[in-house]
């Protein structure tokens, strides 16, 4: 459906982001960025997501100046606190327990860097997600499935974790890991993408 106007590189190893780009019919390569993903305690989730996306894209663009590099970073936030990927099943359960019955934000920062075209753009999209409430054994069973362990906020809306979600307001693809509408619009506006 779409064709890139210069080599496209995804600066992420995320299988979900890769799947989105593949569905659009894009040809691209994957070069995960090796960066420090530490969060400054004073940094807002919005700023953190944008900074991580930009840092990833710029790190890869340094070695691939002729390419268009797409970086992205997704965070789950509640009351200004970032919920990253859980480090243990216990942490995953604690995250899910905290999030249930409440509305949190999923923020995906994205960056598009094309050095030879002088393009350096950063954006972010926020989606509000409201969880239902479940008894602890149900949350424990979900954690035991293993799905929460590589997901920000300890759940995957595109998988088993969809049962947790009562409602969403905003982009669904953003919750999965890439605000497809915003990214495609940015690529089209910068003449980095065209319809085939």
| pLDDT value, residue 195 | 86
Tokens representing residue 50 in the block: 């944008």
> Which has the closest alpha carbon to 109: 35, 166, 162?
35
pLDDT in tens, 123-145: 999 999 999 999 999 999 999 99
**Catalytic residue (choose from 73, 120, 150, 166):** 73
> Which has the closest alpha carbon to 140: 184, 95, 110, 174?
95
Catalytic residue at 79? no
- Residues of the chain scoring pLDDT < 70: none
């Amino acid at each position: 459906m779409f064709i890139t106007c210069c080599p496209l590189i995804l600066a992420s190893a995320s299988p979900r982001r890769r799947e989105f780009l593949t569905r659009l019919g894009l040809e691209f390569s994957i070069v995960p960025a090796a960066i420090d993903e530490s969060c400054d305690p004073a940094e807002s989730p919005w700023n953190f997501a944008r900074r991580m996306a930009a840092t990833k894209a710029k790190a890869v663009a340094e070695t691939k100046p002729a390419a268009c590099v797409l970086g992205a970073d997704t965070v789950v936030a509640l009351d200004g606190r970032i919920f990253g990927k859980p480090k243990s099943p216990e942490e995953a359960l604690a995250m899910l327990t905290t999030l249930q019955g409440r509305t949190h934000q999923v923020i995906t920062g994205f960056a598009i860097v094309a050095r030879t075209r002088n393009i350096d753009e950063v954006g972010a999209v926020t989606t509000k997600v409201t969880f239902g409430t479940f008894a602890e054994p149900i949350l424990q069973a979900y954690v035991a499935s293993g799905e929460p362990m590589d997901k920000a906020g300890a759940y995957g809306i595109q998988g088993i974790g969809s049962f947790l979600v009562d409602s969403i307001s905003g982009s669904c693809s953003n919750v999965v890991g890439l605000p497809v509408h915003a990214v495609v619009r940015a690529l089209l506006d910068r003449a980095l993408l065209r319809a085939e």
